[in-house]
Amino acid sequence: MAKLKIVKYGDDTLRKTCRPVDTITPRITTLLDDMVETMRAADGCGLAAPQVGILRRIAVVEVEPGEVYEMINPKIIARAGTQEETEGCLSLPGKWGTTKRPMHVTVRYTNRQGEVVEASGSGLLARAFCHEIDHLDGVLFIDNALEVMEE
């Protein structure tokens, strides 16, 4: 595994729409491993492929230690409720914003074994799913933040 360089705000890669993954290759599984290592090293709870310069629909989320969601071609299929909370982003260090997100979401994605699975989450997990999937469409949390603050 390798720690990858995190792309920072201002890099055009963060504003592009990612391409779907058609085939899960060893390169894709290595990318998943590297993204998890990179996310943990940066003390984050999620990371999307464009944040490491890869324009593919891949994201990883780990809100609870050891409970990693490796999502290939993720899509939110259900939302319920609302929450307004503060969030940040590894690609926008030092910036925080209050966002309005669903309280509960269900995501459908393909895992590294090629199986289509669904995962549901509430609170922080729901926010992380939404935040990372937004990245795959070139959307940053500051685009929808009710307010943005800097450290």
pLDDT of residue 80: 98
**148 pLDDT above the threshold of 90:** no
Q: Which of 70, 84, 132, 151 is catalytic?
A: 132
Q: What is the pLDDT of residues 82-105, one digit of tens each?
A: 999 999 999 999 999 999 999 999
Helix (H, G, I), strand (E, B) or coil at 30: helix
Between 3.40.50.2000, 1.10.3720.10, 2.60.200.20, 3.90.45.10, what CATH number should domain 12-150 receive?
A: 3.90.45.10
> What is the pTM for the complete model shown?
0.96
Each domain of the chain, given as residue ranges in start order, spans 12-150
Residue type, 83: Q
Sheet holding 95-101, edge to edge: 83-88, 95-101, 147-150
pLDDT of residue 5: 97
- 87: annotated active-site residue: no
- Which residues have a Cβ under 8 Å from the Cβ of 122 and sit 6 or more positions away? 103, 104
